[in-house]
Amino acid sequence: MKDELNAKLSEFNSSTDNLEEVFENREQIEISKYYERLPKPTLIAVQEYTEDKIYFRNPNKEKQDNF
């Protein structure tokens, strides 16, 4: 998600920003607000874990079980 956000915001980067451009770029503000309203990555991961979309694996425990 962060790469996607950075790609979208990089479209607005310019080498010479003047004060008017900073305050008038509504599209950039809307993109930023959209990503700020999204749930935190930890909450997304917990939700995916409870829905069995992702799983947890402990490599140390797997090594102990093999002995």
Closest CA relative to residue 5, chosen from 33, 25, 26: 33
Question: Where do we find the tokens 């995916």?
Answer: 48
Condensed to tens digits (0 to 9), the pLDDT of residues 11-32 reads 776 655 565 555 567 888 888 8
Q: What is the token pair recorded at 7? A: 């790609």
Which CB contacts under 8 angstroms, 24+ apart, belong to 60-64? none
The structural domain count of the chain equals 1
- 39: pLDDT confidence band, cut at 50, 70 and 90? very high
Q: Which domain holds residue 9?
A: 2-66
Which residues, at least 6 apart from 59, have a Cβ–Cβ distance to it below 8 Å? none
Mean pLDDT of the chain: 80
Residue 55 reports pLDDT greater than 60: yes
